[in-house]
């Protein structure tokens, strides 16, 4: 896998780390960012380095670099904020491990920019972080699953892995670390009772059931699927009998077709052979980490990825409940308040204002895209970050690079923003929302 980069680059990264007196690790708060932070933290721990981890919503200000640390490592961010790095690169060293489009590119002896700039769905920050960690410390090959969690969280698996992601997947399969099966890719597949998993599934919207446990229980009763097995334990989607699963899938498809929704509800599921419960499913890992990030429980997400499962997992249980509640409330708002959701052509627009948290606006948009009967192909959402600024989130189902669209728009408006093939984001002043939307739609037309 090291063939993606020249060997001297790994040697240079190793030198930067070995020579550093103290290290600051900055990373993004989503599943890709937290798994990347976990991987690099594990590497620094094995190297007996003195380091601090900080998780950010977005790298917005060069003040983040005003620290006594002589090496700053940035994961899942940085490529789009190179202008901020330039202000400090003469005084300290930087390693950027990222997969987003770069802005204001430059080279410097104190900067290592670990971003191959290949096809953007062929790698994630976590796959790049795994490549570095396992190359510099071979014992960390045991964390190979973390190299894929970020890619799953960033929706890169929906059309199959490519490039580095695919190499890591194939290596993990060869080592019997994971298996791939077909099923309902719903959070709670292995960890929640069937009725709870179905009721709180917004990955696959089930008309008349999603958001309502009583309706989920009624559905299972109609299908003669018992809630508990012969030992009195709750059944999960993973433990349903084949005939039970067939009846359930058929009913879900019929409900979706009746509401003009896509009937394709089955997808590949990546299962970890050496993990139990919620941690045996990569999708569940990515949701757990996203919940930690969106709810501000950053340390729990990083510690989980570093192997401190017995400590972090029980605490994450409350985090995931609160996260799901926020998702339900936001989805109900979108469906009930006509001023929040609008559609122009193939573009869904959510004006979340202060009603939808800026940390979940992208999640809501992704769910709506996957479960909409209006044939929308792209989503753009706005939510208040603070009294002066809006967080912008974008998702697309089309085969063009939404990150490039955002990069162009942000450069014209002199804002921070960018992304990758299927998703992206930006931070803009409130008074530029209309200008942003106009430029976005104009730029989008060029890619259609």
Per-residue HEC secondary structure of the chain comes to: CHHHCCHHHHHHHHHHHHHCCCEEEEEECCHHHHHHHHHHHHHHHHCCCCEEEEEECCCCCHHHHCCCCCEEEEECCCHHHHHHHHCCCCCCEEEEECCCCCCCCCCCCCEEEECCCCCCCCCCHHHHHHHHHHHHCHHHHHHCCHHHHHHHHCCCCCCCCCHHHHHHHHHHHHCCCEEEEEEECCCCCCCCCHHHHHHCCCCCCCCCCCCCHHHHHHHHHHCCCCCECCCCCECCHHHCCHHHHHHHHHHHHHHHHHCCCCCCCEEEEEEECCCCHHHHEHHHHHHHHHHHHHCCCHHHHHHHHCCCHHHHHHHHHHHHHHHHHHHHHHHHHHHHCCCCEEEECCEEEEEEECCCCCCCHHHHHHHHHHCCCCCCCEEEEEEECCCCEEEEEEEECCCCCHHHHHHHHHHHHCCEEEECCCEEEEEEEHHHHHHHHHHHHHHHHHHC
The pLDDT of residue 298: 96
The pLDDT of residue 270: 92
Q: What is the mean pLDDT of the chain?
A: 90
Where residue 109 falls among pLDDT bands split at 50, 70, 90?
very high
| Least confident segment among 83-92, 110-119, 343-352, 380-389 | 110-119
Q: Is the model more confident about 316 or about 185? A: 316
* pTM of this structure: 0.87
- All structural domains of the chain: 2-145 (3.90.1640.30), 182-333 (no CATH), 337-447 (3.10.310.30)
The pLDDT of residue 448: 67
- What value does the mean pLDDT take over residues 187-209? 87
- What value does the mean pLDDT take over residues 44-71? 93
Where residue 118 falls among pLDDT bands split at 50, 70, 90?
low
Whether the pLDDT of residue 192 is over 70: the answer is: yes
21-44 pLDDT, tens digit each: 999 999 999 999 999 999 999 999
Whether the pLDDT of residue 202 is over 80: the answer is: no
Whether the pLDDT of residue 113 is over 80: the answer is: yes
The pLDDT of residue 7: 86
| Least confident segment among 37-41, 88-92, 256-260, 379-383 | 256-260
- What value does the mean pLDDT take over residues 401-412? 87
Whether the pLDDT of residue 155 is over 60: the answer is: yes
- What value does the mean pLDDT take over residues 55-68? 90
The pLDDT of residue 37: 98
- What value does the mean pLDDT take over residues 130-152? 95
252-296 pLDDT, tens digit each: 999 999 988 888 888 889 999 989 888 999 988 998 999 999 999
């Amino acid at each position: 896998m090291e063939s993606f980069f020249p060997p001297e680059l790994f040697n240079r990264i190793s030198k930067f780390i070995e020579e550093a007196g103290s290290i600051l690790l900055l990373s993004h708060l989503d599943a890709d960012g937290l798994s990347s932070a976990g991987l690099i933290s594990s590497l620094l721990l094995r190297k007996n380095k003195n380091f601090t981890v900080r998780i950010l919503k977005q790298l917005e200000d060069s003040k983040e670099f005003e620290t006594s640390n002589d090496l700053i490592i940035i994961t899942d961010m940085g490529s789009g904020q190179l202008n901020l790095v330039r202000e400090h690169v003469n005084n300290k060293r930087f390693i950027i491990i990222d997969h987003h489009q770069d802005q204001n590119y430059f080279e410097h002896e104190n900067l290592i920019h670990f971003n191959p700039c290949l096809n953007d769905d062929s790698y994630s920050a976590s796959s790049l972080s795994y490549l570095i960690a396992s190359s510099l410390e071979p014992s960390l090959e045991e964390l190979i699953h973390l190299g894929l969690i970020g890619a799953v969280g960033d929706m890169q698996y929906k059309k199959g892995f490519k490039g580095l992601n695919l190499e890591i997947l194939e290596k993990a399969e060869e080592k019997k670390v994971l298996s791939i099966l077909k099923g309902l890719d719903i959070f709670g597949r292995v960890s929640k009772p069937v009725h709870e998993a179905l009721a709180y599934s917004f990955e696959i919207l089930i008309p008349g059931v999603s958001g309502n446990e009583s309706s989920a229980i009624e559905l299972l009763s109609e299908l003669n699927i018992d809630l508990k097995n012969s030992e009195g334990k709750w059944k999960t989607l993973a433990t349903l009998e084949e005939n039970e699963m067939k009846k359930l899938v058929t009913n879900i498809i019929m409900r979706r077709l009746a509401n003009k929704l896509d009937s394709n509800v089955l997808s590949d599921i990546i299962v970890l052979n050496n993990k139990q419960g919620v941690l045996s499913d990569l999708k569940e890992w990515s949701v757990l980490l996203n919940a930690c990030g969106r709810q501000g429980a950053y340390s729990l997400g990083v510690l989980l990825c570093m192997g401190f499962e017995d400590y972090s997992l029980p605490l994450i249980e409350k985090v995931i409940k609160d996260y799901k509640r926020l998702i339900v409330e936001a989805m109900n708002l979108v469906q009930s308040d006509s001023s929040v959701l609008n559609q122009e052509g193939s573009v869904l627009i959510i004006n979340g204002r202060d009603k939808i948290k800026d940390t979940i606006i992208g999640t809501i948009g992704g769910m709506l895209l996957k479960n909409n009967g209006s044939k929308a192909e792209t989503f753009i959402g706005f939510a208040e970050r603070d009294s002066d600024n809006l967080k912008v989130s974008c998702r697309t189902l089309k085969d063009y690079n939404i990150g490039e669209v955002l990069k162009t728009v942000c450069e014209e408006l002199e804002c921070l923003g960018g992304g990758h093939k299927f998703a992206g984001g930006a931070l803009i002043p409130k008074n530029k929302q209309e200008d942003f939307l106009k430029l976005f739609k104009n730029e989008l037309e060029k890619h259609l």
